[in-house]
Amino acid sequence: MSSKGTEKTLQKLKQSVEDGNYYEAHQMYRTVARRLTKQQKYRDVIDLLHSGAASLLKQKQSGSGSDLALYMLDTYKLSNTPVTEESLDRVVELLELYPADEPGRKTFINSAISWSQKNGDSEMGDPDLHNFAGTLLYHNKQYNEAEKHLLFGSEESGKLLGDVEYDWAVEIDSADKGTFIARAVLQLLAMKNIHYANLAFQAFTKRLDASEALGEAPYRPAPADQSINITIYKDSLINFSQLLILTAQRDAGELFKTLKSKYAPAFAQDSKFDFDEALADFGLSFFNIQKPRNQGNVLQDLMSSLFSGGGGPANTGAKRVGGPGQGSSGTELD
């Protein structure tokens, strides 16, 4: 809890904001925060800045509110505030108050992720925080940014990622929907996250029109297993994504090489995503297939793009038709 003195200061500053004295209130919040920081009263600083940021953001003073919100995160880092339900709730509350067009929102999200990396349990950033940020960005139709966060999110993120990829493809009127889900599946599998990759794939394919499916074909999960039926789609990269998820669940290095070779022409149509690098990471992760020298790393690329800009799938407009066995439902996929 804040000290009694800080509580009184908070009330005065809140009143100043409510009275419309935004500039004076903003400067006073910073002045008091600096004084308390020198005294190492970090909890009081955090309460003060959180209150000030929320008050200003509610009054549509997004620039000043964002400044105090970032100051709060700087104090989180300075004081090594751990990732807890309480500390996350403050971040989430402020993030909800940001207008979508406020430039400081991306900086705030990145700073929050950076704090959670250093003071939480995940080196990639807190999954719940990634999920919240990704969900918010998805509803703002900022699909590229949403994808970056959902890849590192919770189980809920895996499901939502399929919707992100589908809506993204529809928004740009892409004939190559498979490019989108293939990106997501490959990046999740590069992190050895089979479960989330499957969740994303299932969510994506549920959104597809029935006309985009060609039928079913038998597939043997392992040579000694009974065949199961899987849906075959017109878009070759949707088929590839499905087969890659299945291949990751069995000792099938040679099958992976065959798939990689078969679908190589489809990969070449996307100039904004390095399929070769992602596939090399997949091969190393699941089958210990060594990567070429000087080749990058998908995980490192993901983290780099998270804190910068990053492109999405190219809209080539070229429709890919056909799948395993050219879509023949009588072909054994083993």
Structural domains of the chain in order of their starting residue, each with its CATH number = 1-121 (1.25.40.10), 159-334 (1.25.40.10)
Q: Alpha-carbon dihedral of residues 125, 202, 231, 195, nearest 10 degrees? A: 50
CA-based nearest residue to 151, from 178, 118, 124: 124
pLDDT for residue 333? 40
Cα–Cα dist 129/153, whole Å: 7
Residue 207 has pLDDT above 70, yes or no: yes
pLDDT for residue 250? 85
| DSSP classification of residue 221 | S
Rounded mean pLDDT, 169-196:
92
Which residue stretches of the chain are H helix?
4-18, 22-38, 42-58, 62-78, 85-97, 104-119, 127-139, 143-150, 155-171, 177-190, 194-206, 236-247, 253-267, 275-287, 298-306
Q: How far apart are the first and last CA of the chain?
A: 62
Of 123-127, 172-176, 226-230, the least confident: 172-176
pTM equals 0.85
Residue 293 has pLDDT above 90, yes or no: no
Q: Do residues 146 and 164 lie in contact, with contact meaning Cβ atoms separated by under 8 Å?
A: yes
CA-based nearest residue to 119, from 149, 90, 80, 152: 80
Residue 2 has pLDDT above 80, yes or no: no
Rounded mean pLDDT, 162-179:
93
pLDDT for residue 267? 76
Residue 224 has pLDDT above 50, yes or no: yes
Digit-coded pLDDT (tens) for 246-267: 999 988 888 889 888 888 888 7
pLDDT for residue 334? 37
Digit-coded pLDDT (tens) for 104-140: 999 999 999 999 999 999 999 999 999 999 999 999 9
Q: Do residues 290 and 175 lie in contact, with contact meaning Cβ atoms separated by under 8 Å?
A: no
Mean per-residue pLDDT of the chain:
87
134-167 burial, b at 16+ Cβ within 10 Å, e below that, comes to bbbbbeeebbbbbbbbbbbbbebbbbbbbbbbbb
Q: Do residues 228 and 221 lie in contact, with contact meaning Cβ atoms separated by under 8 Å?
A: yes
Residue 54 has pLDDT above 50, yes or no: yes
Q: Is 331 exposed, middle or buried (0-12, 13-18, 19+ CB in 10 A)?
A: middle
Q: Do residues 102 and 139 lie in contact, with contact meaning Cβ atoms separated by under 8 Å?
A: no
Q: By three-state DSSP, how is residue 233 classified?
A: strand
Percent of the chain predicted with pLDDT > 90: 65
Confidence band for 32, pLDDT divided at 50, 70 and 90: very high
